[in-house]
Amino acid sequence: MALSIEGKKAIVAEVAEIAANAHSVVGAVYQGIESNEMNELRAKARADGVYLRVVKNSLARRAVEGTDFECIQSELTGALVLAFSQEDPGAAGRVISEFVKENNKLEVKIVSIGGKLLAPKDVVVLAKMPTKDQAIGMLMSVMKAPISKFVRTLAEPHTKLVRTIAAVRDQKEAS
């Protein structure tokens, strides 16, 4: 069914708004995927904070114009599904990577983060990026380590003294 001009403008505006606020995008060829499998992918994407949309390439080119993802315009060919990470930079990569493991009909063609176009194989690297909570946890452990070592260093002489006194006591009791 053909879209009216207003419908096309609405799609371009919607995708442009999402692209302007997204952290990363993954584009994949979806030919050969059945509708129930595509519905599963959409449900997983929604649950993980990923905007998943099948858009005509000409409309997608207009939508990403003036955003960080302008670099993908030349790659927008064929039947593509675009996945924009809205909350977590690696979310789109994780959703698509997990789906590709189960269904090899989906072929990653576009990977972009921070205004840079990456190779399709880099979707694995994008998928391995830590979530915000994981990154905060890693930062906290790095910040906590020097303090923990300092406290252990301060406590060590007292611990050694107590062990030495206990050893002397045990030796005197034995004799």
Q: What gap in Å lies between CA 108 and CA 100, rounded to an integer?
A: 8
| Long-range residue pairs from 6-10, CB within 8 A, at least 24 positions apart, any chain | 8/59
pLDDT of residue 1: 55
Query: What is the pTM (predicted TM-score) of this model?
Result: 0.72
pLDDT of residue 134: 82
pLDDT of residue 89: 85
Question: What SS3 state is found at 127?
Answer: helix
Which fold does the domain 5-129 belong to in CATH?
Alpha-Beta Plaits (3.30.70)
Which ranges in 55-131 belong to alpha helices (H)? 57-64, 91-102, 123-127
Query: Where exactly are the structural domains of the chain?
Result: 5-129, 130-175
Q: What is the chain's pLDDT, residue by residue, as a tens digit (175 residues)?
A: 567 888 888 988 998 898 888 888 999 988 888 888 889 989 998 998 899 988 888 888 888 888 888 888 888 888 889 999 888 888 888 898 888 888 888 888 888 888 888 888 888 888 888 888 888 888 898 888 888 888 888 878 888 888 899 999 999 998 8
* 24: β partners: 85, 113
pLDDT of residue 135: 83
Q: What gap in Å lies between CA 117 and CA 43, rounded to an integer?
A: 26
